[in-house]
Chains A and B, each alone.
Chain A
Amino acid sequence: MSTPPNAPAAPAAPAPPGTPAAAAALALGDDALVLSHRLGEWAGHAPVLEEEVALANIALDLLGQARLLLSLAGDEDELAFLREERAFRNTQLVEQPNGDFARTMARQLYFSVYQELVYDRLAAGGGLFAPIAAKAVKEVAYHRDHAEQWTLRLGDGTEESHRRMAAGLTELWRFTGELFQPMEGLGLDAAAMAELESEWSERITAVLRRATLPLPEGPRHSGWTAGAGRQGLHTEPFGRMLAEMQHLHRSHPGASW
């Protein structure tokens, strides 16, 4: 993601470091960056060519969002390639390994429904994030639709596809509560996040019902659930992912095309 000469600068003035706005930019930017990288791992491995292209396109949209958001928090390349694992503020959901295609679609469904709701609110709010969110929310609508269609197709498909889709949804269920932690810098307090969460639940429930899939059981908050990614605590597979993502930049500092 090195910047080509004379590439346009980020459209907005960056948020001062250490402020809640900068922290929020980092959180949203890291979600987009990490999920983009995970989806990119499908290149050369997707079940059909159309999906290869689709996942790469979704990854590209997310990378574009990540560049704008991270530029609000600092230097995009430094933030992406030179931070240690504990400095990343993405949720644990987006760092989870791809697994099979159904599991990737489960992750995509959970995340894109959440992301569309958040961007929709940010776009309407008129703050620092509004221009980016207003642009990105239209792209995310396509990502969400893509994930929904696959959830329907796999859930209401064969016995095997149903089993795999249900398994992916269940395995990732405990990572979904973290998405709704209040974030001061976004202007979304606990009440706003609770409202967003109930809307998310409604939408997920409706899609799964149409897909003849059971709503996963088990807790999404506290106890044995996940949820410290925003505080810099990540799951084991994330370290390996970062090593791969950062290795080229760290091995050849300052290299360019």
Chain B
Amino acid sequence: MTPTALEERLRELAGSVPDPELPMLTLAELGVVRGLRLLGPGRVEVELTPTYTGCPAVGTMAADIERILREDGIPEVTVRTVLSPPWTTDAISPEGRRKLQESGIAPPRPGGAAAAGGPVPVELSLRCPNCGSTDTTLLSRFSSTACKALRRCDACREPFDHFKEL
């Protein structure tokens, strides 16, 4: 079913909510808003997909979407979690990748985990977001959030987060 103009507009609005853990990204740029349907007058259902199964931000995302749509005059908002197909880092938009890079987080490489050689990343192809050097070392597979790994640049010596391919 083709979305109506109103549905398109409301979906854009829902997608404009900032991610609670990566506030430089919107939910649309992160690629987690899967759909929006008008069920009746003033009744909307939004489909949201989590990045990680245990992502603690899902509750906050749902509450933020609900609030912004209510403020736009939709009294009844349901946010439904969908798992299939599973979210991958390829869902992050080019604009989203640029913003991650700008904020000092190395964006995920395209192709998801499989293309990056599984959970062991190809070391050479990962650039330091601060100085651009490819001379970087993995410090830990898990970092400040489940979706990131901790690396260090061997050229400028700065530690940085890398959004892991998933």
* Shortest Cβ gap from A64 to chain B (Å): 2
Bound-complex Cα distance A64 to B52 (A): 8
Whether B146 and A61, one on each chain, are in contact in the complex, defined by CB atoms closer than 8 angstroms, is: yes
- Give B115-160 interface residues, CB cut-off 8 Å to A: 118-120, 139-146, 150
Whether B53 and A61, one on each chain, are in contact in the complex, defined by CB atoms closer than 8 angstroms, is: yes
- Give B43-96 interface residues, CB cut-off 8 Å to A: 48, 50, 52-56, 58-60, 62-63, 66, 79-88
* Shortest Cβ gap from A3 to chain B (Å): 8
* Shortest Cβ gap from A39 to chain B (Å): 11
User: A135: which B residues are within 8 A, CB to CB?
Assistant: 50, 53, 83, 86-87
Cross-chain pair count, CB within 8 angstroms: 105
Which of A7, A56, A139 lies in contact with B52, CB distance below 8 A? Answer: A139
Chain A 127-138 near chain B by CB (<8 Å), digits 1 or 0:
000111011101
Interface size class of A (residues with CB under 8 A): 35 or more
Which of A7, A63, A138 lies in contact with B54, CB distance below 8 A? Answer: A63
Whether B53 and A141, one on each chain, are in contact in the complex, defined by CB atoms closer than 8 angstroms, is: no
Considering residues A6, A68, A145, which has the most beta carbons from chain B within 10 angstroms of its beta carbon? A6
Whether A5 and B146, one on each chain, are in contact in the complex, defined by CB atoms closer than 8 angstroms, is: no
A54 touches B (CB below 8 Å): yes
Whether A9 and B53, one on each chain, are in contact in the complex, defined by CB atoms closer than 8 angstroms, is: no
Which of A54, A130, A136 lies in contact with B53, CB distance below 8 A? Answer: A136
B162 touches A (CB below 8 Å): no
With contact pairs A64-B52, A138-B166, A141-B113 given, residues A4 and B59 touching in the complex (Cβ less than 8 Å): yes
A164 touches B (CB below 8 Å): no
Which of B48, B56, B146 lies in contact with A8, CB distance below 8 A? Answer: B48
Whether B142 and A53, one on each chain, are in contact in the complex, defined by CB atoms closer than 8 angstroms, is: yes
With contact pairs A132-B83, A145-B141 given, residues A8 and B58 touching in the complex (Cβ less than 8 Å): yes
Interface size class of B (residues with CB under 8 A): 35 or more
Bound-complex Cα distance A72 to B113 (A): 28
Whether B53 and A132, one on each chain, are in contact in the complex, defined by CB atoms closer than 8 angstroms, is: yes
Which of B48, B54, B63, B113 lies in contact with A61, CB distance below 8 A? Answer: B54
User: A63: which B residues are within 8 A, CB to CB?
Assistant: 54
User: B59: which A residues are within 8 A, CB to CB?
Assistant: 3-4, 6-8
Considering residues A7, A10, A65, which has the most beta carbons from chain B within 10 angstroms of its beta carbon? A7
Residue of A nearest to B166 (CB): A138
A60 touches B (CB below 8 Å): yes
User: A61: which B residues are within 8 A, CB to CB?
Assistant: 52-54, 146
Whether A54 and B141, one on each chain, are in contact in the complex, defined by CB atoms closer than 8 angstroms, is: yes
Whether B140 and A60, one on each chain, are in contact in the complex, defined by CB atoms closer than 8 angstroms, is: no
B164 touches A (CB below 8 Å): yes
Bound-complex Cα distance A8 to B84 (A): 15
Whether A57 and B142, one on each chain, are in contact in the complex, defined by CB atoms closer than 8 angstroms, is: yes
Bound-complex Cα distance A98 to B137 (A): 29
Q: Which residues of B contact A (CB under 8 A)?
A: 48, 50, 52-56, 58-60, 62-63, 66, 79-88, 113, 118-120, 139-146, 150, 164, 166
18 additional A-B residue pairs with CB within 8 Å, beyond A9-B81, A53-B142: A8-B58, A8-B80, A8-B81, A11-B80, A11-B81, A11-B82, A50-B139, A54-B141, A57-B143, A58-B142, A64-B52, A64-B54, A135-B86, A138-B86, A139-B166, A142-B142, A145-B120, A145-B141
Q: Which residues of A contact B (CB under 8 A)?
A: 3-11, 50-51, 53-54, 56-58, 60-65, 67-68, 130-132, 134-136, 138-139, 141-142, 144-146, 149
17 examples of A-B residue contacts, CB within 8 angstroms: A6-B63, A8-B48, A8-B80, A11-B81, A50-B142, A57-B145, A62-B54, A64-B50, A64-B55, A131-B84, A134-B86, A136-B53, A138-B88, A142-B141, A144-B119, A145-B118, A146-B141
